[in-house]
Amino acid sequence: MHNSEEIHTHSDVLKMLDSLLREPAPFWNEFYTNREKKIPFFANIPDENLVSYFEKGLLKHGKTLELGSGPGRNAFYLAQKDCEVDAVDLSEEAIQWGKERAAEAKLPVNFIHGDIFEMNIEENSYDLIYDSGCFHHIAPHRRMSYLDLLHKALKPGGHFALTCFAAGGQYGGSEISDWEVYRSRSLKGGLGYTEERLKKIFSDFQLIEMRKMEPMAECSPTFGIQDMWTALFQK
């Protein structure tokens, strides 16, 4: 009989390292259960950087995958820009909320409840992959899996756009080393990145733009808070 705690493959190593950290699905389900919480990104408005990419002509409509979509605020904007949108999230609560919002707005977003590393993705199938706030919650040992996903899923010439915690930021961005994640068995609320480190991690892609997110007023039609990196890359 196969012992589930035996290590035979690279996949077994990843699963063992996953088990050292908190179980993410229950955490995010609880996080999205109370929709009235004063969480800045619960507002149903898109990221200011995503809007700017379309306004500047850096992006145009196409098949899009959003990683860690939450209840869909960026997915809805992409659908309004005539993108065919698949939006995936680990939280069943977030996906349900997104489906309700999509039905109310009559927007065609394909919400998928699941783990981004267990998705069956067709090779070279997406024009754009968007990630707002997922990457900084990914453990160091899963970064390689994340890059593999980008390389597999993006069409040649396709774009990848990212919004993530800056190191030492106001809302998150722990500055611990990758090894310390496993010593403490915690991402400390989300890992923080420097410009240099992001360029190194995504060096296989062509950098189009990297800058800090523009803080936006509460009444603004777009979302923006300080201490977040935004970046647009091309395969």
Instruction: Encode pLDDT of 172-228 as tens digits.
Output: 899 999 999 999 999 998 999 999 999 999 999 999 999 999 999 988 999 899 999
Q: What is the pLDDT of residue 24?
A: 66
Q: Say if residues 100 and 152 touch (Cβ distance below 8 Å).
A: no
Backbone angles phi, psi at 195, to 5 degrees: -60, -45
Q: Is the pLDDT of residue 124 over 70?
A: yes
**Strands 154-165 and 228-234: what pairing?**
antiparallel
Inter-residue contact 214 to 227 (CB < 8 Å): no
Q: How many CA atoms lie within 13 A of 177 on its CB side?
A: 3
For domain 10-234, give the CATH superfamily.
Vaccinia Virus protein VP39 (3.40.50.150)
What integer pLDDT is reported at residue 219 of this predicted model? 84
0.75 exceeded by the pTM? Answer: yes
Q: How confident is the model over 152-166, as a mean pLDDT? A: 97
What's the pLDDT at 65?
98
Average pLDDT, the chain: 91
Average pLDDT of 144-170? 97
